[in-house]
Amino acid sequence: MNDYEQKQADRRERFQDRAEKAVTQSDALYSAARKRGEAIPFGQPILIGHHSERRDRNFRAGINRMTEKSFELSDKAKYYEQKAASVGTGGISSDDPDALVKLRAELAECEADQERMKAANKAIRTGKTADKQVPALVALGFSEATAQSLIKGDFCGRIGFPTYKLSNNNGNMTRIKKRIQELESRRSREPVEVETEGYTYREDTEENRVMFVFDGKPSQEVRDLLKRNAFKWSPSRNAWVRQLTGSGIYAGQTVREGLAKLKAE
């Protein structure tokens, strides 16, 4: 497990811990509210005008507040459970130091799938009859059940692998190749660091981030400028950051121009 994968695992664990904490708090509040409710005799109305009216109303309102809070915490637990489940499901991240290795492996798998689908379609066309088609497909590595389903056709009567599957896989290969080229180009870039009055601008290839490091807390105007250009505060880096992409670099230049204008005013 590399550093990025460890960070992802730690992030997932934090979300899971928050979900468990919210569940525990929700259950405790619900139990407490139910216990309070049991103190009220079944069907007992509020005695209007009685000296106990105000106290009774407050008591019942407290039960309602506890129940509502319990439901809110339950929703919060579900939110963090979903967040934990989604960590790492967004594909191969450019932040992963092994991203190029993983992308090349994914590309090789797609290329093998493409060749296998083409070979299967050729075997089906050449064989013409099931007694020849099935053994040819099995020889390519397909199970007999899969071979039978391929020559039977899909719900539209399409035999073998339909054109759209080949096209989709080809499109995926093109996408992966483009990402590999972008990452190779990005990682071959020289890091940039420009110090100026009030802040330091960085294009950090190791962190894969465009960064603004300020001498102190920037003004509201500056923070608004950063946010408009999709920069976010990163406490761990003590900097305003966004991913090191072409658009990220362009946004960095836009912010620098905006900072120069603010300084000149």
pLDDT in tens, 103-112: 999 999 999 9
Per-residue pLDDT, averaged over 146-156, amounts to: 89
Which of 174, 170, 193 shows the shortest CA–CA distance to 182? 174
- Model confidence band, residue 234 (pLDDT cutoffs 50, 70, 90): very high
- Is residue 139 over pLDDT 90? yes
Helices (H) and strands (E) in the chain, counts: 8, 5
Strands (E), the chain: 192-196, 199-204, 209-214, 232-234, 239-243
**pLDDT class of 232 with cuts at 50, 70, 90:** very high
Residues in the chain: 265
- Looking at residue 146, its pLDDT comes to 94
Contact 23, 74 (CB under 8 A): yes
The pLDDT confidence band at residue 114, using thresholds 50, 70 and 90, is very high
Cα 245 to Cα 252: distance, rounded to the nearest angstrom: 10
CA neighbours closer than 13 Å in the CB half-sphere of residue 53: 5
Supply the pLDDT for residue 7: 87
**Token representation of residue 105:** 């492996």
What pLDDT, on a 0 to 100 scale, did the predictor assign at position 65?
Answer: 95
pLDDT tens sequence across 24-69: 999 999 999 999 998 888 888 888 888 888 988 999 999 999 999 9
Rounded (to 5) percent helix, strand, coil in the chain: 65, 10, 25
Q: How far apart are CA 16 and CA 39, in angstroms?
A: 35
